[in-house]
A and B are shown apart, each in its own frame.
Chain A
Amino acid sequence: DAGVIQSPRHEVTEMGQEVTLRCKPISGHDYLFWYRQTMMRGLELLIYFNNNVPIDDSGMPEDRFSAKMPNASFSTLKIQPSEPRDSAVYFCASSFVGVGYTFGSGTRLTVV
């Protein structure tokens, strides 16, 4: 298995632009998590899905952030419009009940 695959690895965009981050979880995993990591705030859970259904989005910072999981093999995290304070590393992780998370390599987002 190739593990959790995130794309792109790096993204540089201008303030106000739309950004879409992508994640392919491990086949057979029924949970998918989106995290944001910064030096100031550490690792923050943004949203997670179970069987493609959003379960808890209380960590999504504001309405500019949205996440979807149209099927078991794909999820997106969208920021529109982006702001410099959104600069961070965004991680996707997937899991099966009783098993620990497998994290992707992350997307480093820089908003200038």
Chain B
Amino acid sequence: GNSVTQMEGPVTLSEEAFLTINCTYTATGYPSLFWYVQYPGEGLQLLLKATKADDKGSNKGFEATYRKETTSFHLEKGSVQVSDSAVYFCALREETSGSRLTFGEGTQLTVNP
């Protein structure tokens, strides 16, 4: 079946540090890949997505590239801010699963000033 594995948290960084959150996946077909972000007390929000191999999703300074050869979709940001503190979820959607997403466990990020 489908699965998503994220690097374990929590991750603690200082402001302006470089961020990488690893995400790898297992899928039988050609999934679309997503990153969602959850700020404290809120629901998950779509951060970025990529629908085919070598696509790069980007938003708010975050980027992730769909790497089919390594089945990965790592999230990166060059310079994090305190306001980026949140939980980040990697997810995939198989072509055959309609709209259903498979989520990773989530990675808690804390950015200190």
Contacts and interface: CB of A to CB of B under 8 A. Distances in A.
Given A43-B89, A43-B103, A97 B46 contact: no
Nearest to A42: B105
The A interface, classified by DSSP as helix, strand, loop or mixed, is strand
B100 interface: yes
A100 B43 CA distance: 14
Given A42-B106, A43-B89, A43-B106, A31 B42 contact: no
B98 A101 contact: no
A103 B45 contact: yes
Given A48-B100, A95-B99, A101 B89 contact: no
B82 interface: no
A50 B105 CA distance: 25
A42 B89 CA distance: 11
A56 B34 CA distance: 22
Interface in B65-113: 89, 98-101, 103, 105-106
Contacts, number: 46
B17 interface: no
A111 B61 CA distance: 40
A97 B45 contact: no
B8 to A, nearest CB: 12
A74 interface: no
B27 interface: no
Interface of B: 34, 36, 42-46, 49, 89, 98-101, 103, 105-106
Interface of A: 4, 30-31, 33, 42-43, 45, 48, 50, 55-56, 91, 93, 95-97, 99-106
